[in-house]
Amino acid sequence: MNGAELLVSALENEGVTQIFGLPGEENLAMVEALRRSSIELVVTRHEQAAAFMAATHGRLTGRPGVCLTTLGPGALNLTTGAAYALLGAMPMVMITGQKGVLSRKQARFQVVDIVATMTPLTKMARQIISPVTLPALVREAFRMAQQERPGPVHLELPEDIAAEPAPDAPLISPHPIEMPIAHPAALDRATAMISTAERPLIMLGAAANRPRLSDALSDFVRRLQIPFFNTQMGKGSVAGGSELYMGTAALSERDYVHDAIDRADLIIAIGHDTVEKPPFFMGPKGPTVLHVGYLPATVEEVFFPHVELIGDVGPSLQLLGQRLEGKLPNAGALLPLREGILEHIAARAEESRYPLTPQRIVHDVRQAMPEDGIVCLDNGMYKIWFARNYRTHVANTLLLDNALATMGAGLPSAIMAAMLHPDRRVLAVCGDGGFMMNAQELETAHRLQLSLVVLILEDDAFGMIRWKQEADGYPDFGMTFGNPDFVTFAKAHHMEGSRVEGVDGLAPALEAAFARGGVHIVVAPVDYSENRRVLIDELSAHAV
Ligand SMILES: Cc1ncc(C[n+]2csc(CCOP(=O)(O)OP(=O)(O)O)c2C)c(N)n1
Ligand SMILES: [Mg+2]
């Protein structure tokens, strides 16, 4: 057995079944070890996509996704994915190659200090210096990636260590991770606070979406009957409970959901992670904030909770729920605002204009998606509209990135969702800008014979930035581009493509694409004049 084979058996020992990546000379021993293992090597066309896929695997399953590259250029292509997983708290293990460490037959050819590059982008970055250390290092890497707050780790396997005979080192078995539950004193304090609140409101943040938390969280909300809103990444974390849903804070202030937030005297912030664009601004006045989290909140200018309940969130909420159930006369104090807020949000969702308005697009997508269908967003203007307007009923059915907020992750994350859930409808929604950043992965999706629809919203522009540019009073400059004919582009990738030609075209186009199966591109021209009309003019007037 050599170092690469020992590493692969250590990965098997962690329950890894797939690795996403792209080969290079320096990881050939690893590729060969994988060929002879139980692990499937899923080849992507760019390392960045492999990292986005591995991170999404971690996000959706709670178990680290694994990606593999060669040294230098290949490893550097992982950096955006590493940051995506670090800011988004997604467990991921990255394995990169390197030239031999014991000799330098190629001098500095392709050598970049990847461990140093990865250090600020990961929870841990290590070079493997001897096969003997592998079992412990791999176990430590997985433990660290998975444990709260989850994130990426990096292991570098130099090619001579990969080829070196490995001792018969015993592997270390993974053990279940159970976290401590909140301290009784903290539970007492939280109980007192919630009992005396006059207008309580629950906020569900990014960490509320951890796959294992969904049941306990849904149960807590049902028991307390306190209305809730969510941050963008907290969307969909409560199953059912829709009669308590007050909206999504896609903007930081002045949106209709802020009518409730501004009136609350207590906000129970569950799992808020300040990597997200602030869902509201805390100031010297305003509500008391109780932070419920796996870890203490990071104190920021705009988020400084007054009280904390720290510990494994599910079991801690269960204890809190037991103490409070049926004892909250004011639980529903803010509920009367709900109808008005949701009516405003739903306004003009069926407007008959072509090109389509963002509201209409969200509406039609919701119609085409069953409750458990998964929508994976890239980053662009439509993200705000989907966050605000798309209603979710099942946990993790709207995957968006409000942490690194990188363009290019839409298609790779949808590929991963489709691999994990072949029985569900999966839709990637991308702008024409973001789609082109990882369009090469259409080939991957086709090769893997996935069922997946990619909706491209076409405005021939970096629409989101164009909107900000206009809002800031700058002239229109540097924001527009041309596009390939996306229908022909689809055909060239051996898949179907269709273009929405009229206002009633989107819903049937999506339906037909899903019914046909395979990978399908649907192109829809979008009219972004609503950005200004609603998000600036209407909301400014509302704030006054
Ligand atoms: C990798 C990366 N580069 C640049 C940005 C800044 N940015 C955010 S949204 C956006 C425009 C996206 O354009 P498109 O994908 O066409 O979506 P649209 O807003 O037009 O719907 C840009 C350039 C980013 N978030 N990520
Ligand atoms: Mg665009």
Model pLDDT for residues 393-405, shown as the tens digit of each residue = 888 999 999 999 9
Q: Which residues of 112-128 are buried (b: 16+ CB within 10 A; e: fewer)?
A: eebbebbeebbbbbbbb
**What is the share, in percent, of the chain residues with pLDDT greater than 90?**
90
Which of 422, 414, 425, 421 lies closest to 370 in space, CA to CA? 425
- Check if the beta carbon of residue 20 is closer than 8 Å to that of residue 150: no
Q: Ligand 1 within 6 A of 462 CB?
A: yes
Q: Which residues pair with 18 in a beta bridge?
A: 40
Is the pTM above the cut of 0.95?
Answer: yes
Predicted confidence band of residue 533 (pLDDT cuts 50, 70, 90)? confident
Q: What residues contact residue 175 under an 8 Å CB cut-off, 6+ apart?
A: none
C-alpha of residue 318 to centroid of ligand 1, in Å: 40
Give 238-245 contacts, CB < 8 A, sequence gap 24+.
Answer: 238/204, 238/208, 238/214, 238/395, 239/214, 239/215, 239/393, 239/394, 239/395, 240/393, 242/391, 242/393, 244/335, 245/338, 245/342, 245/391
User: Ligand 2 center to residue 379 CA distance, Å?
Assistant: 10
Note the pLDDT of residue 240: 64
Cis bond upstream, residue 355 (ω within 30): yes
Contact 438, 48 (CB under 8 A): yes
Structure confidence by residue, pLDDT tens digits, 500-511: 999 999 999 999
Counting ligand 1 atoms within 8 A of each CB, the residue from 460, 462, 529 with the most, and so the one to mutate, is 462
Tokens (6 digits) for 39? 């692990």
Q: Which ligand places an atom closest to the C-alpha of 383? A: 1
The whole-number pLDDT of residue 528 equals: 93
Q: Please tell me the distance between residue 15's alpha carbon and the centre of ligand 2 in angstroms.
A: 40
- Does the Cβ of 382 fall within 6 Å of ligand 1? yes
Beta carbon of 401 within 6 Å of any ligand 1 atom = no
Prior bond to 120 cis, omega within 30? no
Average pLDDT on 1-8 reads 97
The confidence band for 103, taking pLDDT boundaries of 50, 70 and 90, is confident
Q: Which atom of ligand 1 is nearest to the CA of 463?
A: 20
- Best residue for ligand 1 mutational test, from 458, 464, 466, 526 (most atoms within 8 Å of Cβ): 464
| Ligand closest to CA 464 | 1
pLDDT averaged over every residue in the chain: 96
Q: What is the pLDDT of residues 67-101, one digit of tens each?
A: 999 999 999 999 999 999 999 999 999 999 999 99
| Confidence band of 351 (pLDDT split at 50, 70, 90) | confident
What distance in angstroms lies between residue 461's CA and the mean position of ligand 1's atoms? 9
Task: Enumerate the β-bridge partners of residue 456.
Answer: 430, 523
What does the block give as tokens for 190?
């939280």
Q: Is the CB of 81 under 6 A from ligand 1?
A: no
> Residue 426 is which amino acid?
V
User: Which of the 8 DSSP states describes residue 356?
Assistant: B
Q: What is the DSSP letter of 37?
A: S
Answer whether 220 contacts ligand 1 (Cβ < 6 A): no
What are the structure tokens assigned to 84, written together?
Answer: 């995506």
- Residue 405 Cα: closest atom of ligand 1: 25
Residue nearest to atom 23 of ligand 1 (CA): 462
DSSP collapsed to 3 states, 235-284? CCCCCCCHHHEEEECCCCCCCCHHHHHHHCCEEEEECCCCCCCCCCCCCC
Residues in the chain: 544
256: number of Cβ within 10 Å: 21
Are 295 and 149 within 8 A, CB to CB? Answer: yes
Atom of ligand 1 at shortest distance to CA of 408? Answer: 1
Structure tokens at 495: 């898949």
Smallest CA separation from ligand 1 atom 3, residue: 407
Q: Which atom of ligand 1 is nearest to the CA of 382?
A: 21
Ligand 1 centroid–CA 406 distance in Å is: 8
Question: How do 496-499 and 124-127 pair as beta strands?
Answer: unpaired
Nearest CA to ligand 1 atom 8: 380
The rounded Å distance from CA 381 to ligand 2 centre is 8
CA 271 to chain CA centroid, nearest Å: 14
- Determine contact, residues 88/120, Cβ cutoff 8 Å: no
Q: Is 529 left (phi over 0), alpha (psi -120 to 50) or beta?
A: alpha
Other beta carbons less than 10 A from residue 505's beta carbon: 17
Q: Which residue has the CA at smallest separation from atom 13 of ligand 1? A: 462
Q: Which ligand sits closest to the CA of 463?
A: 1
Alpha helix locations (H) across 289-329? 313-324
CB-based burial of residue 322 (10 Å sphere; 0-12 exposed, 13-18 middle, 19+ buried)?
exposed
Distance CA 385, CA 154 (A): 35
Q: What pLDDT score does 393 carry? A: 86
Whether 433 lines ligand 1, by a CB cut-off of 6 Å, is: yes
Instruction: Please state the rounded mean pLDDT for residues 13-31.
Output: 97
Contact 522 CB / ligand 1 (< 6 Å)? no
Query: Is the confidence at residue 382, as pLDDT, over 80?
Result: yes
Environment of ion ligand 2 (residues, CB < 5 A): 431-433, 459, 461, 463
Q: 241 pLDDT band (50/70/90 cuts)?
A: low
Q: Is there an atom of ligand 1 within 6 Å of 459 CB?
A: yes
Point out the least confidently predicted range of 6-15, 234-243, 279-288, 328-337: 234-243
Strand partners, 522: 455, 498
Is 465 touching ligand 1 by the criterion CB < 6 Å? yes
DSSP character at residue 172:
P
Q: Is 158 left (phi over 0), alpha (psi -120 to 50) or beta?
A: beta
Which tokens go with 119? 């250090």
Other Cβ atoms less than 10 A from the Cβ of 484: the count is: 11
pLDDT exceeds 70 at position 431: yes
Q: How far is the CA of 134 from the centre of ligand 2 (A)?
A: 46
> How many C-alpha atoms does 208 have within 13 Å on its Cβ side?
32
pLDDT above 90: residue 534: no
